[in-house]
Structure 1
Amino acid sequence: MTFQKPSHTFTKIHLKALYTNNFKLLFALSFTLFINMYSFSQDIPKKGAPIKAIVKDSIIVDQTDLPQPEVSEKVQDSILKDTTKTKKKELLEHIVDYKATDYTSFNQKLQKLYLYNEAEITYGDMNIKAGNITIDYSKNEVYARGIKDSIGDYSQAPIFTQGTNVVEPDSILFNTKTQKALIYNSKTEQSGGTVIAEITKKENDSVYFISRGKYTTAQDLEDPEYYILLRKAKVVPGKKIVTGLANLFIYDVPTPLGLPFGFFPQSEKQTSGILFPAFGEQNQRGYFLQNGGYYFAISDYVDLAVLGDYYTNGSYGFRFESNYALRYKFRGNFGFRYENLIASERGFPDYSKSTVYNLRWSHSQDGKSSPNSRFSASVNLGSSNYYRTSINQVNTGSFLNNTLSSSVSYSKTFQGDPQVNFSLTATHQQNTNTEQINMTLPTFQGSVGRIFPFAPKTGSKKGIIQNVNLQYNLRGENRIQTSDSLFFKKEMFQDAKTGFQHTIPLSTNFKVFKYFSLSASTNYNEVWTFKTIEKSFDPTENKAVTETVNGFDSFRTYNFSTSLGTTIYGMFDFKKEGKDPKIQAIRHVMRPSISYNINPSFDKYYDSYEVVSADGLTTSDVEYTRFEQGVFGVPNKNFSSSMGISLSNNLEAKVKDKDSTATESKKIILLNNLNFSTSYNFAGDSLQWSPIRMTGGTQLFKNKMSINFGATLDPYALDNNNNKIADFNINNGGSLFRLTSANLTLNYSLSSKDNKADDKNKNGIEENMRSGGRDDGLFGLPDGYTSDRFDEGNKNEDEEEVSQFYNFKIPWSLRIAYAVNYNNSRRQNEISSHSLMFSGDIELSPKWSVGASSGYDLRNQGFTYTQLRFERDLLSWRMNFSWVPFSSRASWYFFIGIKSTILKDLKYDKRNQPDLQL
């Protein structure tokens, strides 16, 4: 690239007046009409000099006298003499655009163009912005620098852009022909980091050489809190940085942390690389390395991290973590963890060895990708004691989990009239205390949408006949119940139970007396099974013997039900003439309902066997049904005719808004629900009334506090042995009802800001939820997934700037869970459980944060699992410390490292892990 002299341009344009070229026309308009005229006006001819010298200039020679235009030797190319017809290469390959706010001046003698104040020049993919730009045509150089004002402040420093690479120096000298440049005091962003160099030599578009450069991810580039000094380095933008001797500086203080040479890969996309482990020591297992491995950037849609742990006593573990996503289709993550744990040394009495594993998979489908079908998965299964015995730091917040659950499902809808749906689901429920596992592999569900055989083709359905509807449902299950020791072994399938259930509900509804809604329904149920039982009494063993009978069998049942309900609205208006009370009105909504159910007796499906005593006499007959071990229950043996009574309530209030400009009252909820239910069995010979069940709930403080409560009230009395008798409690000298049980739960989540408190610990809470834990952090947070409130890019630009030394607002968040259960079914009169749990964080200053997760068992008088957290924002660095002060999992963890992901392996962590007994 070279800049052509204006005089050459002028001459060539006039000698080729009949030759048209867009570039030359634009160039003539910008340089000929402006620059040359302006430069000639500054060249004052000597006094007395004849004007003939100008008249004889070649520019006014008649073109007929010059059959061939003269070409300057400077731009003459040898290819013009080639006999092959080749298009001549232009001296300027792109249009040169330039501008300046104050002035644009060209010096004809020095062949220099001056641009001042907010100057900018663009040539191809090169762009330079600066306060002062000088273009030297004779040397093909561009010099850009800033402007100093009257008080010496330097402003409008150059910004050099070529392609995607941006350099911000104090000044720059650029050769347009060789594409080389000298850059002084530059700042160049490279894949999340910044290279600050005193002198940079730009060799070409892709290579830079720097001397005494500083590589940092700090925000304050004028005074970075840390940097890596690169004494000599080669930078290939977007690809790599190769350096010689380099070491870490903290606030310009050198540290012994350094390398004789280094290679920093730079990439705008995911790349594979080594994941550095954390190290530490544990008394039971010796020194260890944790979470080290390799990251595979397989493609733009899927990745894989292979991680491992190793302990010097022989314990080891490995993990596979993968994330995948396809935009507008689906996304998910997969993880498998395995640990071989050894405690103590072989030959010692406390020596033990065990293996634990855990499999997690989460998959979600974009709803728009396939509206009529859907596939989803949420899997968390493995060893029942995995989270309790695992010694990996990421499982700290999950060891209190007592259930593991999984679900993988696929559903499909066939549009039409009627609509047909089916789904396949595999489920898994695992109790980590009892190590019992219940699975369905799979569950099939199919249904045909509601059919209204008597409904009119147009218009609404009215009356009892037109509202008659029916549908068909099919459910099939292959149910497996096993234990942790038999999981994924062939023995787990031996006692599998399989069955199908067909149901055809027929129902209708209509209005009665205008305000009442009456519904009636009957349900046909048919169950298929492939295993039944046969019982007999073995007098030799003196016990009942149960034999399994393989083969198809079935039973059929039906029932009838009807219900009558209505809705009652009540309004209590507190407004009075001349008064404007704070509570203006209370609305009470009641929904009473009465139902009647008939369940016939199907005793034909019941058999009996005789129990014979030792002397050969028959003592009794024991009834049983061969469907006892079926998947979908047993047919009803006893006839029942019962009436159900229920009442639901809802209370809302209208209060005066504190905002004086508000035109309407504000609605608040007093009681979300308050429900009462009971039933009466007409066919029963005694104890016909069922206990009254009361449940309720509400939300307070702008829905930040949720309260749920319940109680059971029994109308019957107890005898001296605390057994229920057929006498009402009030007739036995007691109250109308006996309170047999009650419960109360309270959840309170609040913070000093409007944002959700959970957002502060988003990473850790997401890890807890994937492991089947809580979403409120009450069980603590996993180490290594601490708060991200100080992470880069997490700051809100609209937030008010606060003091660096004292945060007078003191942001905080608090989550509280309170639960109490009362039991008095047999005159125990005891609190069966009573606990308070809490988790909170406080920002003592903009840079300091403390948090805690703990609880107190009020019944057993002791603290529950407790975790204390301390965090410090060190600008580009982050430091945190978590501590479990007591319990069998007493431990602590310290971490300090750089926030930026590109240097996240530049860290130091130390821990003291609990010594778990296997």
Structure 2
Amino acid sequence: MHTNLFNIVLISFFLTLGTTSAYSQDIKKKNTTIPPKKEITKAKEDKTKNIVPTPIKDSIKADTVKVKKAFLEGKVSYKAHDYTKIDQKKKLITLYDKAELYYQDIELKSGIIVMDYDKNEVYAGRIKDSTGKYTQYPNFKQGTNVVEPDSIRFNFKTKKALIWNSRTDQGEFKIKAAVTKKENDSVYFLKGARFTTSKDVDNPEYYFQTNKVKFIPGKKVITGLTNMVIADVPTPIGLPFAYFPMSKETSVSGIILPNYNDSNTRGFSLQNFGYYFALSDHYDLTVLGDYYTNGSYGMRLESSYAKRYNYRGNFNFRFENLINSERGYPDYSKQTIYNIQWSHSKDSKSNPNSTFSASVNLGSSKYFQQSINVVNLGSNLNNTLSSSVSYSKTFNSVPQVRMSLSATHSQNTQTSEINMTLPTLQLSVDRVFPFAKGDGIKKGFIKNINLQYNLNGRNSFVTTDSLFFKPEMFKNAQVGMQHSIPISTNFKLFKYFSASASANYNEVWYLKTIRRFYDTNQSKVVDETVNGFDAFRTYTLSSSIGTTIYGTFNFGKDKKIKSIRHVMRPSISYGYTPSFEKYYDTYAADASGTMIKPYTRFEGGIYGAPGLSNSNNIGFDLSNTFEAKVTDSDTTKVEPKKIMLLNNLNLSTSYDLNADGKTTFAWSPVRVSGGTQLFKNKMNVNFGATLDPYAIDNSGTRINMYNINNGGSLFRMTSANMTVNYSISSSEFDDKKKDDDQVKRNGGREDDLFGKSRDVLNQKSQFDDTDDSKGEDAITTFFKSKLPWDMTFAYSLTYGNNNREKKIINNSIMISANADLTPKWKGGISTGYDFVQKGVTFTQIRFERDLLSWRMDFNWTPFGDYSNWNFFIGIKSGVLSDIKWNKQRVNDRTIR
């Protein structure tokens, strides 16, 4: 007890000494004041004889002894699990076993800590356990920097330190050094250092070895001669010096190293060489270039931008100058291709009353097929490029008004035809119920009468790649505006029937019309464009009545299938459109002028033309759904389980009351369509067929005779189709999301039936970011479980019999499968077979190997127009993503 009391008193005295001020001498206060000595001075006499006394100085000087500063500037806290020993003679404090020391922003934890408060130093090291193994390695933390060495020596006053076998994490880097000298809070010097992105810094699969390093935490690492070591084997890969940025910012500007490739027709190449500009926190820019030794070159600009709670988007521009073969050879050709992609979305929180969005994908029709730097298989097989840019605003008036401006673009990559609207104006005024009271109750035929106003204006172009945005494109522009006022009402009829009636008034404005006549000079009928405002007005009437019929078939409570429920929704509609003959003129179809035919000057307009004959149709529609109640496989559940047998089974046709039996027929073909989901909604099945009640003659022309009266069946099937899609995986209850933003922007498929997309610049791994530290346990768990896999299956069948050909037009199957062959190997295949063309469809084989800090993959398309292979191995870390080897061979694409 006496010893403990002595230690307690001593520690209290030491802590008090470290937190108080000390002086070299103490000047005691005196009770009496020593008066200054009196000095007699002669006063000078001026003309006024006033005496001015000379001020007398105090003979006691100020104390010049400096106050000695305490050896510590803050409070020191410490503790230990085993013991705390204080040696006052040597001025040492020893903390043993789970020792901890805290001073200002410094935290030190270790097996043993020795503090020398005379030299202002502290030493920390590891200790041995009962088996002789070193444990409790020091953990030194200052601010946000953490170092885990074997031992450390630190000076509280100078903040300098010597660290042996330090280990520290800086961003994606893990750094280990034999000796580290801490110069100050921001500069470290390392000797015998290695740095890597491997998770195990003591036994990494690769590292960079260097003897001299200047390390500035959170900013950069500058090294001397640096050598790359793989599996503890030095490689010839080395640099006389190296610089690695370690900024805590989300992105840093820097050079992007190129890929090397070769081609049979374009020579050797450097691809994707450029620079990344981290312009600000809101946007960036990547500039990339490609060059082939035969003169071909390409350029890419990529930018992403975002502002929280306002907007986000990205912009890509790609241009390539392609040269095939050599000048003077017969197969020499030259072409320029380009592609523009822009995606923009606005956050609704910024302004709920207005929106702006953009999804642009336009350019050369053959860009994805001929590009020297795009191996994006889903985009290659896509036949359509489409774009849309739109702005909408809602005016909170009464009634509410909505306005939108948009520009659209649709491009067929096979025919190079482009359809574009620039712009489209849409304006709508919300519904108004003129006969409803202010309480909002709308019941009955009169009170449900409502009307609204819609405006649609368009400036439309039809052009090709070669004329895109050239003067010829704008000469054939179609400009028009459509006004419509729909009036409708709905009501109940005989309690079980829902009825509706509507009328629609349309007015169309054009700035161009035609005048048709027979030109004797050309000996043919020509259309002459007439510029100027013109308009026509039409109206239509329609009504419908429908109901819902429920039917239930019970099989008994002891049956597996308890009951089947059938829901039918039949409806009958009527539509009437009168003839608008007043808008029609006549023209002579021959030179004699005897053959007179009608025409309207509004033909070819973007909103159509008024009809010459009236339309008087009755439509019939029937939709069906089938559900079943079955005994649940879960015996704990009392209620039966509902399953869907048929999501829909629809039949529709119409009858023309004005049919003449020659050019028009009374009944239209019956269209049957349906769909269902099977195997716990894993399989989607959709089917459809067209049934014609009329027969055809020997030439295949439809005649006004029912097929059953011509020796056939009641209906003649003219076409049919069926599609099946099925997705399954080893974990059926886990939905594996397949998402590739770039494929969607390019217009390709989101699934991998056409193979996985591969971005040459930013290759993504199929492996999840799992903890590799589990080692053997992860492998053992893997082989005890089922083999992870997933599969996507698609089947398509189309039957044609329009002219009794009874022909299978399309019959193909496509499969995509992926599997984890081992914990570190993944494999996949996408292929298919066309039974009509009797050939294998697009096929891709892929493998990927997880090499811990590295990744290796191989993709191979063995045959077809897009046959290619690609081998890649590189470091996963984004900081060292330029350390890679990428070899690919793409099938030479001739300009088509």
Instruction: Provide the TM-score with structure 2 as the length reference.
Output: 0.90
1:176-187 aligned within 5 A: 176-187=156-167
Asked if 1:96 corresponds to 2:79, the answer is no
**2:843 paired residue among 866, 872, 875:** 866
- After TM superposition, the structure 1 = structure 2 runs for residues 304-319 of structure 1, keeping only pairs within 5 Å, are 304-319=285-300
CA distance in 2, matches of 1:800, 1:674: 53
Change (3 A) 1:65 1:471: closer
Q: Which residue of 1 aligns with 2:606?
A: 631
Correspondence 1:290 to 2:262: no
Q: Matched residues in 2 for 1:426 and 1:837: separation?
A: 36
Check the 8 A contact 2:368/2:374 in 1, yes or no: no
Alignment pair present for 1:772 and 2:753: no
Question: Would you say the 8 A contact 1:225–1:876 is kept in 2?
Answer: yes
After superposition, the C-alpha distances for 1:399-440 in whole angstroms (9 at most, x for unaligned) are 111100000000001123211000000000000111100000
Which of residues 700, 707, 727 in structure 2 aligns to 1:722?
A: 700
CA–CA distance in structure 2, aligned partners of residues 82 and 227 of structure 1:
64
Partner of residue 788, structure 2 = 811
In the aligned structure 1, how far is the partner of 2:63 from the partner of 2:370?
85
Q: 2:47 corresponds to which residue?
A: none
Q: Within 1, Cα distance between the matches of 2:487 and 2:148?
A: 78
Q: CA deviation at 1:84?
A: 11
Q: Is the 8 A contact 2:644 2:677 kept in 1?
A: yes
Asked if 1 retains the 8 angstrom alpha-carbon contact of 2:377 and 2:754, the reply is: no
Amino acid across the alignment from 1:157: Y
Do the aligned partners of 1:807 and 1:844 also contact (CA within 8 Å) in 2? no
Change (3 A) 1:590 1:212: same
Say if 2:196 is the partner of 1:216. Answer: yes
Aligned residue number for residue 471 of structure 1? 452
Separation in structure 1 between the aligned mates of residue 587 and residue 141 of structure 2, nearest angstrom: 94
CA contact (8 A) 1:758 1:776 kept: no
Q: Equivalents in 1 of 2:298, 2:357: separation in Å? A: 29
In structure 2, the CA distance between the partners of 1:665 and 1:33, relative to structure 1 (3 Å rule), is farther
The separation in 2 between residues aligned to 1:86 and 1:529, in whole angstroms, is 97
Match of residue 9 from structure 1: none
Deviations 1:13-72 (A, max 9, x none): xxxxxxxxxxxxxxxxxxx99855257999xxxxxxxxxxxxxxxxxxxx999659xxxx
* Closer, same or farther: CA 326–39 of 1 in aligned 2, 3 Å: closer
SS in 2 for 1:152: coil
| Aligned pairs (5 A) from 1:883-902 | 883-902=860-879
Question: The residue matched to 1:801 in structure 2 has which SS?
Answer: helix
Q: How does 1:546-557 map to 2 (within 5 A)?
A: 546-557=527-538
Supply the distance in 1 between the matched residues of 2:724 and 2:889 (Cα, whole angstroms): 35
Structure 2 residue 397 is the aligned partner of structure 1 residue 416: yes
| Letter aligned with residue 528 of structure 1 | W
Pairwise CA distance, 1:469: 0.5
User: Aligned with 2:446: secondary structure?
Assistant: helix
Q: Does the CA contact (< 8 Å) of 2:145 and 2:217 recur in 1? A: yes
Structure 1 position 803, deviation (Å): 3.1
After TM superposition, the structure 1 stretch with the greater mean CA deviation from structure 2, 84-93 or 783-792, is 84-93
Q: Work out whether 1:741 is the aligned partner of 2:712.
A: no
Q: Deviations over 1:749-800 (max 9, x none)?
A: 22223587764x64xx322111111111222233336552326469999x99
Question: 1:788 aligned to 2:765?
Answer: yes
Pairing 1:700–2:678 present: yes
Q: Is 2:792–2:817's contact at 8 Å kept on the other side of the alignment?
A: yes
The amino acid that maps onto 2:589 is: V
2:473 matched residue in structure 1: 492
| Residue identity opposite 2:825 in structure 1 | W
Task: Look up the SS of the partner of 1:388 in the other structure.
Answer: helix
State yes or no: 1:649 paired with 2:627.
no
Mapped partners of 1:416, 1:608: distance in 2: 48
- Cα distance in 1, alignment partners of residues 856 and 245 from structure 2: 26
Report what 1:152 is aligned to. Answer: 132
Contact 1:586/1:654 (8 A) holds in 2 = yes
For 2:295 and 2:567, locate their aligned partners in 1 and report how far apart those are by CA, in whole Å. 67
Alignment root-mean-square deviation, CA: 2.7
Distance in structure 1 (CA, Å) of the matches to 2:531 and 2:470:
23
- Separation in 2 of the partners of 1:65 and 1:274? 68
Contact 2:225 2:240 in 1 (8 A): yes
What is the Cα deviation at residue 832 of structure 1? 1.3
State the alpha-carbon separation in 2 of the partners of residues 424 and 863 from structure 1: 46
1:134 to partner: Cα distance: 2.1
The match for 1:265 is 245
Say if 1:397 and 1:768, in contact at 8 Å, map to a contact too.
Answer: yes
Q: In 2, are the aligned partners of 1:39 and 1:107 still within 8 Å (CA)?
A: no
Q: 1:480 — aligned with what?
A: 461
Q: Work out whether 1:910 is the aligned partner of 2:887.
A: yes
Cα distance per residue 1:687-710 (max 9 Å; x no partner): 201100011111222322211111
Greater shift, 694-703 or 866-875, is seen at 694-703
Give the Cα–Cα distance (whole angstroms) in 2 for the partners of residues 188 and 389 of structure 1: 48
Contact 1:306 1:321 in 2 (8 A): yes
Aligned residues: 846
Does 2:223 correspond to 1:243?
A: yes
Runs (5+) with no aligned partner, structure 2: 15-24, 31-60
Task: Give how far 1:364 is off.
Answer: 1.0
- The whole-number CA distance in structure 1 between the counterparts of 2:690 and 2:302 is 48
What letter is aligned with 1:690? S
Distance change >3 Å, CA 84–CA 592, structure 1 → 2: farther
For the residues of structure 2 that align with 1:666 and 1:102, how far apart are their CA atoms?
65
Counterparts of 1:746 and 1:499, CA distance in 2: 42
In the other structure, the counterpart of 1:122 is: 102
TM-score by length of 1: 0.88
Deviation, structure 1 residue 360 = 0.3
Evaluate the alpha carbon distance shift between residue 800 and residue 730 of structure 1 in structure 2; reply closer, same or farther with a 3 A threshold.
Answer: farther
Matched with 1:382 is 363
Partner residue of 1:570 out of 548, 551, 566: 551
In the other structure, the counterpart of 1:37 is: 9
Q: Of residues 325, 338, 343 in structure 1, which corresponds to 2:324?
A: 343
Gaps of 5+ in 1: 1-31, 43-62, 69-80
Kept after mapping to 1: 8 A contact 2:684/2:726: yes
- Do the aligned partners of residues 124 and 608 (structure 1) sit closer, same or farther apart at CA in structure 2, a change above 3 Å counting? same
Contact 1:342 1:353 in 2 (8 A): yes
Q: Which residue of structure 1 lines up, in the alignment, with residue 833 of structure 2?
A: 856
For 1:673, the equivalent position in structure 2 comes to: 648
**1:189 partnered with 2:169:** yes
Change (3 A) 1:181 1:660: farther
**501 and 85 in structure 1: CA distance in 2 versus 1, 3 angstrom threshold:** farther
Q: Deviations over 1:68-113 (max 9, x none)?
A: 9xxxxxxxxxxxx988999996654333232334444433333222
Are 2:379 and 1:398 equivalent residues in the alignment?
Answer: yes
Q: Which amino acid aligns with 1:897?
A: G
Residue 281 of structure 1 pairs with residue 262 of structure 2:
yes
**Aligned-pair identity (%):** 57
Q: 1:41 to 1:868 in 2, by over 3 A?
A: closer
- Give me the whole-angstrom Cα distance separating, in 1, the residues matched to 2:26 and 2:411: 102
Q: Which residue number in structure 1 is paired with residue 615 of structure 2?
A: 640
Return the letter of the residue paired with 1:149: D
* 3-state secondary structure, aligned to 1:853: strand
Structure-2 residue corresponding to 1:881: 858
Q: CA deviation at 1:639?
A: 1.1
Cα contact 1:338–1:355 (8 A) shared by 2: yes
Per-residue CA distance 1:495-531 (angstroms, 9 max, x = gap): 0010100000000101111111110000001101111
Aligned pair in 2 of structure 1 residues 872, 541: CA closer, same or farther (>3 Å)? same
Q: What residue number does 1:661 align with?
A: 636
* Letter of the structure 2 residue corresponding to residue 865 of structure 1: F
Task: State whether structure 2 residue 564 is matched by structure 1 residue 583.
Answer: no
* SS of residue paired to 2:180: strand
2:147 aligned with 1:171, yes or no?
A: no
CA contact 2:175–2:201 (8 Å) conserved in 1: no
- What is the identity, as a one-letter code, of the residue corresponding to 1:471? Q
For 2:161, give the aligned amino acid.
A
CA contact (8 A) 1:169 1:186 kept: yes
User: For the residues of structure 2 that align with 1:594 and 1:778, how far apart are their CA atoms?
Assistant: 42
Q: How far apart, in 2, do the equivalents of 1:260 and 1:64 lie?
A: 62
Cα distance in 1 between the residues matched to 2:416 and 2:98: 74
